Structure 1
């Protein structure tokens, strides 16, 4: 079933915006009487039937709603330094959204090669992945945040920092407790500095390794996301 993202949905009838209407009618070739699904990004999953297949305003009658559709018993927050090539971080956001992540933060670190991102573009990538994977929750995307500010303000769940520097580290599957919320820090292409790792540890973050291979930034994000999901059996 085709799915549309409709964050402003309310009532028993919803009209898709012109862009989504054109996609629905011209691209997907959907017609009056066809069934579709709508999600509000906050856990609401709606089943509907097209009552007017208009290119500028496709109308849908809502016939059923499910609250908290696909809600997980834990939250995963990935805070990551965006790559110089933005396509790679977009790919990571897409795949982590499909696998399952509740929140993303773009980090500005000492060795970051990219200091700013275009949030609007990244949000479109996330929403597209939500629709592709038939999810009812759209992960939150926080503004670009300085590393020191983030670790000082982050108090949620179990907190981890993944890095390849020297020093004692534990495997993620050895320290993460399934069912609990998790925050995982992923560094830039040049990794976190020793000083940043020290700051994070002092703030309560546990140093971890994601395996024996040295991973690219975007790969590390996906491995961390999949590992948490796998350990929670989702």
Structure 2
């Protein structure tokens, strides 16, 4: 008995995310999970599988050599609330820059991505299925308990109306007010497309959205996103117990 217990304690644990996962007696590995285990050369080995539902719950299973069946191991982590939020909002980066942003934002603790379209937007939509896969991979790498949420709005006005204009500010290199992280804590930056805001800037000013510039340099869209994600992460660390 002791030898078996020692063997079980030495088994590797592989983490997977399944958003909104609810365990059932018939749970098995998915095709993607089997492929990943084979790439790690762990499919033909005893191992533990940890499945996180993206909402703070974590379930652990024993999975035997070459088997798809998941055997409950009686370990459950339950964290139902995220202590701090980190929200990014704005235009959709083009090409593989979106994938890069989703990866790095997830690693930096972003909890919500809100994307919308602008007059000068180049990219207008994205694959939610592919986005979910990128988020899960990044969350696995960084050992997060929660998956970020992603929402697409038709335009910035739709975004502001649904969340509330009092929660937003804009990043605009034409602003005469320098960015101050202490003034924007718990606020959401709206980041415009490549080439900056178009005619919508007048409407933003009309509803009194505060505007700040990030120094003298003009940042790429995805660089501005990561700057804000880093500021949010820093502010959240200040309140970490």
TM-score, with structure 2 as normaliser: 0.81
Structure 1 vs Structure 2 CA RMSD = 2.5
TM-score, with structure 1 as normaliser: 0.83
- In terms of fraction of residues, the more strand-rich structure is 1
Asked whether the equivalents of residues 86 and 112 of structure 2 are also in contact (C-alpha less than 8 Å), the reply is yes
Q: What displacement does 1:42 show?
A: 0.9
**Residue 48 (structure 1) aligned with residue 64 (structure 2):** no
Identify unmatched segments of 5+ residues in structure 1: none
Asked whether the equivalents of residues 210 and 223 of structure 1 are also in contact (C-alpha less than 8 Å), the reply is no
Q: What displacement does 1:228 show?
A: 0.8
Aligned length: 224
Asked whether the equivalents of residues 42 and 137 of structure 1 are also in contact (C-alpha less than 8 Å), the reply is yes
**Residue 101 (structure 1) aligned with residue 110 (structure 2):** yes
State the alpha-carbon separation in 1 of the partners of residues 170 and 215 from structure 2.
Answer: 14
State the alpha-carbon separation in 1 of the partners of residues 15 and 215 from structure 2.
Answer: 36
Identify unmatched segments of 5+ residues in structure 2: 1-12
Partner of 2:74: 63
Partner of 1:171: 179
The one of 14, 22, 36 aligned to 1:9: 22
**TM-aligned CA distance change 1:118 to 1:82, over 3 Å:** same
Q: Deviations over 1:27-59 (max 9, x none)?
A: 2222554233221011112333224632xx242
Asked whether the equivalents of residues 53 and 59 of structure 1 are also in contact (C-alpha less than 8 Å), the reply is no
| Residue range with higher mean Cα deviation, 91-100 or 5-14 | 5-14
**Residue 21 (structure 1) aligned with residue 41 (structure 2):** no
Partner of 1:207: 211
Q: Deviations over 1:157-187 (max 9, x none)?
A: 742211212x33341413123xx4x322111
Q: What displacement does 1:72 show?
A: 3.7
Asked whether the equivalents of residues 162 and 187 of structure 1 are also in contact (C-alpha less than 8 Å), the reply is yes
Q: What displacement does 1:127 show?
A: 1.6
- Bigger radius of gyration: 2
Matched ranges for 1:144-163 at <5 A: 144-155=153-164, 158-163=167-172
The one of 19, 34, 37 aligned to 2:47: 34
Q: What displacement does 1:116 show?
A: 2.4
